[in-house]
Structure 1
Amino acid sequence: MSSSTSSTGKRIVVLGAGYAGLTAAKGAGRHHRVTLVAPEERLLHRIRQHEAAAGRGRDWPAIADLARGRTIEHRRARAVELDLAGRKVALDDGTSLGYDTLVYALGSRTAWHDVPGAAEHAHPVERATEVRRLIREAEHPGTLAVVGGGATGIELATELAEAHPDWRVRIVAAGRVGGTYSPKGRAHIRRVLDRLGVAVHENATVTEVTPDGLRTTAGPIEAGLTVWAASLEPHPLAAQAGLAVDERGRALVDDHLRSRSHPDVHVVGDAAAVTVPGVGTLRMGCATALPQGQYVGRLLDGRTAKPFSFRYVVQCLSLGRRDGLLQLVHPDDSMKPTVLTGTAGRLAKAGIVSVVLGALK
């Protein structure tokens, strides 16, 4: 019997060991044998990548430790091809896995949007340790530009500015920095950026990245080091394999998070276009990925048969080590006027991060 076969003969394969994939594998692995396919040895703790970039991160938990107590085999390989008709996954080590049920959780990656020079001269958020190394090895402090005015860009800019006050940090956004937050939330973000000396460039769409900086619709911006946090795109393997996807390449799923074109495939996390009545299509991020993974784990383990449900409660930001923002939201993710800032916001964010890690353990 293969390592992914349960006592009932069902072969469950999970692709990806992010928040969604790992929690799905752990849930299904309570009473089934699961093969978890991911090249990483340790959890890619994406909600703490800004800390790693600033040199404040530590080793994240090993996947083997997080999977302890479950019947999960971790195959350290990458999925390179899906044979949906034959129910097989080809891996980059030359082997393949058959499955009865596949959980596709390959998540998202940095989207360059065909901006000339971006892939060559900018550094994506997922390579946070590379950013840390470049800062450490620089002969002298320079200018660093963070492209992206959303949550990831804000957290990176504030963390880097606080950790490296001798560097000139800039944040560059196509619209407003923190534009999705409430007026109180945006005002606090701007106060923190000002306090940390971060130069803000708004309404500046990047048209080219060069070794020396950025060309934007608002003019050139000098930068010796550029970190790209503008947007994400789903991994392309789902669309390449023939799963039904939306215009962004996210797999279309039903209310049990099954592919609408291939119901033997569950899709969770950033890879899935999950639409919840009264809420809408969920945004990418840990806040939505973790509950989806938990749900599919329970579903495969027979602990639920109900449709997936979800409601937003808060959005939170780290603003360096001494400040933070907790933004209350309506169930559909629209903003409420209430925010927690300063130490209260920082502690709230730290508490949420602890809850995430606790859920994975």
Structure 2
Amino acid sequence: MTDMGGDQVEEAVTSCATLLRAAAAGRDWDGVRAGRLEWSCRRTAEHIASDLIAYAGQLAGRATTAYVPFDIAIDEGTDDAGLVDVIETTGALLAAAVRTTPREVRAFHPYPFRSANREGFAAMGIAEILLHTHDIAEGLGLPYEPPAELCARVLARIFPHVRPEPDTPWRTLLWATGRGDLPGREPVTEWRWNNNLVIGTERLTLQGVTPDAAADLHAGGTGGFEWIGSGPFDGTRQAAGLLASAYEQGVHRPEWGMFVLVRREDGLAVGAIGFHGTPDEEARAEVGYDLSEDARGRGYATEALCALAEAALARDEVKLLFATIDRENAPSQRVVARAGFTRASEEVEKAARELHGLEESLRMYSREA
């Protein structure tokens, strides 16, 4: 799997600069509104440069609680061609920051979980470039369509809640940001992109898996993580396949998805944990987990389950978590017990078998809010 990184940022900048340079001569950028925005085309181009340097600054400065309080100013008298130079320069700085920032570093961004890693900032920068180049092109009456693969990767990285249209990723991105229509879908009037959720524990970080990472894991890859020697367990790859399928169907919700357990001491992935879907109509959600073989017997599963359960039960959408465990799997039964889950009654298990097809070999454990 190739990370969303500096190469993709540079590809987006090239796409932008190619169009804007051709439009720099003989056009009034300052007197023309940029598409559906309230800004002029020139103000929109300045905004692209401002966002790119801001994202580079967040990563370089390792800001964790707020935006770094700085901005750029364009020299008086700079013409539109010079402004394109600024976009190319700030894009190069973001690409460099993405390439040199360690994978585990997260910096402040408000939406929606108040942090993003280098791939998140790369994807947000690319989205700013593509979408605002579109706005400028629309204002100037020029055709513009960026590389389809770039659009698809932006969608999978920071729009995981949006059902993709494999044949039209650019139109899907425009629709998802209120800039266009898609057949069969209601117009979008409000939107935010969605960086992955990370939950911290004493020894681990539970890192939300994005749809593109899930697809790679399911196909036998690493998902962009560095794994402990034995690699992902089979259950992790199967769960990743379910997440990728949910994304394709438009029903994936990141906070009720899958998380990879990354060890703080060395950055190695040691297992996965997550939900089998969003909470049902009775505010119940099922949780599952597994560990790589080399990481077992150290309490990681218990630590992760405790943190995930507490985070989930603090939400209004869920009142009860449950897990189903094979009757012969004593270690896993001890994990759920240590995490505050209790064995369901025989009546509850019987109902689960009759109504939901719970296998005879499984036992049910639950924890309430």
Relative to the length of structure 1, the TM-score reads 0.25
Larger strand proportion of the pair:
1
Relative CO higher for 1 or 2, CA cutoff 8 Å, sep ≥ 6?
1
Relative to the length of structure 2, the TM-score reads 0.24
Larger helix proportion of the pair:
2
